[in-house]
Amino acid sequence: MRLDKYLKVSRIIKRRTVAKDAALADLILVNNKVAKPATTIKPNDIIELHFGLKILTVKVVQTELPKRNSDEMMFELISEVKKS
């Protein structure tokens, strides 16, 4: 699944265009490499997002959409750090 679409469907970022713009601005790393919107996301990838004064690091658990009314998460939060 594409990075921008994954960020939207996993609800990390609310809109796909915002995810695309963040990736184009080099604010997203996948496995410690700068990622573009079309970067393919696989399970066990580590995504690091730089939002203003916050760095969010998540591990991809699955790329398939969970079934409706399911408690399954698409990602696991590793860390959320505030810059000073």
pLDDT at 23: 95
Asked if 6 and 46 touch (Cβ cutoff 8 Å), the reply is no
pLDDT at 22: 95
pLDDT at 49: 96
pLDDT at 18: 95
DSSP tally for the chain: helices H, then strands E:
2, 5
Q: Cα–Cα distance between 4 and 7 in angstroms, integer?
A: 5
List per-block mean pLDDT (blocks of 10 residues) for the chain, which spans 84 residues. 94 94 96 96 96 94 82 90 86
The pTM of the full predicted model, rounded to 2 decimals, is 0.90
Q: Which domains occur in the chain, in start order?
A: 3-82 (3.10.290.10)
